[in-house]
Structure 1
Amino acid sequence: MATPFFKSLGQAIRAKGHTVHRVRFCGGDRLFSIGQSGWHFSGTPEQLPQWLNVRHLEHRFTDVVLFGDTRPLHAQAIPMLKSLGVRIHVFEEGYLRPNWITLEQGGVNGYSSLMGQSATFWANPLLPVMEHAHIPGRKTLGIRGFYDISYHLANTLMKPWFRPYRSHRPHNALREYLGWIGRMPHVKLRLERQANRRIEQLITKHQPYYLFPLQLDSDAQIRVHSGFGSIAESIHTVLHSFAIHAPSESLLVIKNHPLDTGILKHHKTVYHLARQLGIHQRVLYLEAGNLPRLLMNTRGTVLVNSTTGTSALFHGSPTIALGKAIFDLPGLTFQQGLDRFWTEGQKPDRELFLRFRHTLIRQAQIAGDFYTRTGIRQAVQGSLKAMQIEALPVPQAPAPAPARVLSPPLVVEPLATGPAYGGKLPAAANGYLYKKT
């Protein structure tokens, strides 16, 4: 993970008297753990469980901290570690954005212990929670880019020491960077302004529209926690349903993910399929744009399981989740299928959402972020508390030994002439003393 957060967390845990070992899978891990003790793993994912088992036998570690639970290396290690009774602390980007990160024990997203909880669980009283714990509106895109480039550059330079390592991302870093370089200037200089102007036109004209925000194709939420193998598959499902079941006067606004590389050309997929279905005049594809404005005025939000779902619920938008999602609950999201959603979707229960949000914060959210100094400092402190990392007691200096009292020396009379071995000494209080000579 391209962030100094885990180095800071390790230092904080070590400062409380605990032993910390950093497992390094690649050059980027080495770069972001300089100065820390660590273990170098250069095997395949299938070899990792046995490798960890050997170290557990030697060190008897009790806890493992990781980012994400679906990456190939993590997915191999977690079941074995759980079988040993090791506590697994999984970090992830926040279920709520911005200013929050996720921390759960055992798993996150579709593997979270929160999945499938009853409405009663989420309807807890509104207990106090920390809100907007650090400066809102903090821009992290630039620093994230710097960390990411540094991480992948280190991977390249240290490849000879980590030859079996393969990234979980489907495209290599160079191809992704070239995609961003080609896409981002257009987004910032031209497409964002055009998109916001088009959004305001929709709102001003009271044009009914549905919103479909896209996720990254590499997102584990898509590949692991949904029935879709790709973003293209989700586009096909949504457009086919919209063409048949949505009101004829409505539009479908599809907004691309802000971190998309542009490699897969989603806009071509959308417009090609829309023409095939005869709805190209009812589909609007946006590369950028003000998401809150779209959410506040949409007739409904369709998504797979993006965290945009919590924002949609916050803004009162009727919402349907097509994949596994923490927020996919009766009373919050539509439960009767996509085809009926276009005409039957209802606004979420506001009171239930507030209780859901408060419970989610208390159960799984830590104030802060992974990238800024202030955010990292705050996230480390919150994580220590959530993980119940307490300082070990300082060993007390041993009490001074009592002063030694020496007994007077025993005066022994010279031996009388007699045998060399077992000569009799003068009588003692308990009988006789014998001396070997």
Structure 2
Amino acid sequence: MTNKFPVNRALFDDVMAPNYSPSAVIPVRGQGSRVWDQEDREYIDLAGGIAVNCLGHCHPALTSALKEQGEKIWHLSNVMTNEPALRLAKKLVDATFAEKVFFANSGAEANEAAFKLARRWALEEYSAEKSQIIAFKKGFHGRTFFTVTVGGQEAYSDGFGPKPGNICHAEYNNLDSLKALISDKTCAVVMEPLQGEGGVISPTDEFVKGVRDLCDQHNALLIFDEVQTGAGRTGELFAYMGMDVTPDILTSAKSLGGGFPIAAMLTTTAIASHLKIGTHGSTYGGNALACAVAEATIDTINTPEVLQGVTAKAKLLTDGLNAINTKYDIFAEVRGKGLLIGAELTEKYAGKAKDFLNASMEEGLMILVAGPNVIRLTPSLVIPDTDIAEALARFEKAVAKIAQ
């Protein structure tokens, strides 16, 4: 098929809604941790599609699963189930605390299901008064109106009229702040086990365990949003596994499909029983094509080689960033867990995270930001060490330009 019009950045402004402002670079193919644009210029990808491309681009296990299932069956209504969905659900149940799985298409949808389930559970187990949801400031849980209101960033939720009610926000890593809000009318506390969009903030052990204890004291569910931290990102299959704390509901998306849209909500049989027939659903959720790719993703990730490799590769990256910082003094802190890394800029460079992103692109490197002051890296979990070394070299060139 030949297009009779140029497919370029200018076309975006002509035909796309203006809620994004994408780069002029349009990638057209990828392999592993390398991407090539329309001009055949090469980039090293430390962004991973915002923690999505956990096995890089066109990983053979995923492309094989996609092609194989693509020749069989793609989609059925949820009047029927399918083999890939059942296999994937069984593997998630076997690998986690969970006993039941609900599939959706995005992190927002998985969280929407989790929040609706928590409200339904509380209504049926206790009373209609037990409906308060507590989340944390600077959190991020999706872009539906419900999930964006639960997310603790008003810049994303303001401007759309009256918000869903009985949602409030505590301070992350501040147990007293949560104690002041939680009561027997709380149905759920929602948290990321490591805040991503909020600046790559890790919780203290005391905080996580304290949140679990407070939920238990007030008969509230603990919901872990593992959309960004799950599927191997922290060096565990899910981040909760390294915390000595188990949530009641867990949500997963992003890396779960390795780049193919899919999400999951995981929970126990007792809690899941409140999602009776007809109470919730998804047209595309659990379709055979997405589940086949996600099954291949989980099979590849959930191995000692890959998960242990995450920790080793994270050390290479953070050591490299710290070495660059020794020379240029741009970071106040390099933090995170596994291959979810945040580098907070010093006061001198405050607000300039996007400048570093743009300068990196000019050097053939794709990175992310988490707000105006934090550079965020979420590369493939299997990125070759040689690509890490080359990425750090390119990043240093970008830093040198800005520092000068």
Query: TM (normalized to structure 1)?
Result: 0.29
| Structure of greater relative contact order (alpha carbons < 8 Å, 6+ residues apart) | 2
Query: TM (normalized to structure 2)?
Result: 0.31
Report the structure, 1 or 2, having the larger strand content: 2
